[in-house]
Amino acid sequence: METIHTVAWMKQVAASARKNDRVLGLVPTMGALHEGHFSLIHAAQKQCSPVVVSIFVNPKQFGPSEDFQKYPRTFEADRAALESLGIDYLFAPPPEEIYPLGFRTYVEVERLSERLEGRSRPGHFRGVTTVVLKLLEIVQPRLAFFGRKDAQQARIIRRMASDLNLDSEIIVCPIVREADGLALSSRNRYLNEENRRAASALYRSLDAVRREIAAGERDAARLLVALRRVVDAETRVSVDYAEIVDADSFEPVVSLRKVCYVLIAARVGGTRLIDNALIEQTGDTFGVTL
């Protein structure tokens, strides 16, 4: 595996792979790698060669009171893991490579970026789309891999790729979970033992929605009551938002549509966690994927 630190060299390596008609894949990450990231990498390796994994803790997507400074950084362990997975290129630029002095250009996806995560974390998605656009422009992969764990982010990136006529196809991969259902996240390592146990309430609340839907419930407000009953019973968990939204617009729905998401964000101790379930209609039945 080659570790690349500069934009210029990354561009050159990627351009030469494209010239040789190879199917270049990109997996953007902020490091502190876990099985969620590895699942994206496996998906990339199935369809692409070479695969570029980027590790960049993007300062522009953290608010002033957020955890940029203390965000987990485990670079040597990440590098060793990627090496053993047979990754071709690790792109790990220092911040000044991505944001040189005088940097002034941002990309923003209107509306989709303003709700839910965007509302709770002003400026977050502007930082995400700006860095992802830069990564997509530097590497110009045929396919780029993202997790459904961050469903709103994936939707926004797809919108951006389509609006800006990018050639990269955006692939969205399933959520990888712990045995008790907690979605894997680099931030889970902030949780102490009690909070870690309580954190499974997010998954359990989504599972309650799944059961209500299986029992025939279609009304969004009543489904959210079922969700709240579970998550509000956990005193260590404080909900930031819980909504059922259309999968395309991310606007709230009154009753279930063809494709929608149940989205939840909550604080457990000082740690902010998000999770979601995908609801899809086939014929008269609604299937729920956690």
Active-site residue list: 37
Distances (CA, A) of 134 to 131, 161, 192, 205, 238: 5, 12, 36, 36, 35
Nearer to ligand AMP, 150 or 212 (CB): 150
Nearest to ligand AMP of 140, 152 (CB atom):
152
Query: What string marks each residue from 168 to 197 as x (binds ligand AMP by CB under 6 A) or -?
Result: -----x-xx------xxxx-----------
Query: At its nearest, how many Å lie between ligand AMP and the CB of residue 28?
Result: 6
Q: Binding of ligand AMP at residue 200 (CB under 6 A)? A: no
Buried b (16+ CB within 10 A) or exposed e, 201-211: bbbbbbbbbbe
Task: Kindly write out the interface string for residues 11-40 of this chain, putting x where it contacts ligand AMP by CB under 6 A and - elsewhere.
Answer: ------------------xx-----xx-xx
CA 224 – CA 170 distance, rounded (Å): 30
Does 88 help bind ligand AMP (rule: CB under 6 A)?
Answer: no
Per the DSSP assignment, residues forming a β-bridge with 177 are 183
CB of 125 to ligand AMP, least distance (A): 13
Number of residues this chain uses to bind ligand AMP (CB under 6 A): 17
As measured in angstroms, the least distance from the Cβ of 185 to ligand AMP is 5
- Is residue 152 part of the contact set for ligand AMP (CB under 6 A)? no
| 150 lies in the site for ligand AMP, by CB under 6 A | yes
Measured at the CA of 205, the angle between CA 201 and CA 210, to 5 degrees, comes to 145
Distance of alpha carbon 86 from alpha carbon 259, whole angstroms: 36
What is the Cα gyration radius of the chain?
19
Q: What's the start-to-end Cα distance of the chain, in Å?
A: 34
186 or 195: whose CB is closer to ligand AMP?
A: 186
d(CA 50, CA 44): 9
Of 82, 89, 100, the closest CA to residue 50 belongs to 89
Q: Taking the CB of residue 176, how many other CB atoms lie within 10 A of it?
A: 18
State which residue, 57 or 208, has the beta carbon closest to ligand AMP: 57
What is the closest distance, in whole angstroms, from the C-beta atom of residue 208 to ligand AMP in the complex? 20
Q: Note whether 265 binds ligand AMP by CB under 6 A.
A: no
Q: How many CB atoms lie within 10 A of CB 226?
A: 18
Sequence-distant (≥ 6) Cβ neighbours of residue 155 within 8 angstroms: 112, 247, 248, 250
- 146 contacts ligand AMP (rule: CB under 6 A): yes
Pick 138 or 220: Cβ nearer ligand AMP? 138
Counting contacts by CB under 6 A, is residue 130 touching ligand AMP?
A: no
Q: Indicate if the alpha-carbon torsion angle 218, 220, 221, 227 is positive or negative.
A: positive
Does 98 bind ligand AMP (CB under 6 A)? Our answer is: no
Single out the segment in contact with ligand AMP by CB under 6 A; choices: 143-151, 192-200, 222-230, 281-289: 143-151
Q: Catalog residues that contact ligand AMP under the rule CB under 6 A.
A: 29-30, 36-37, 39-40, 146-147, 149-150, 173, 175-176, 183-186
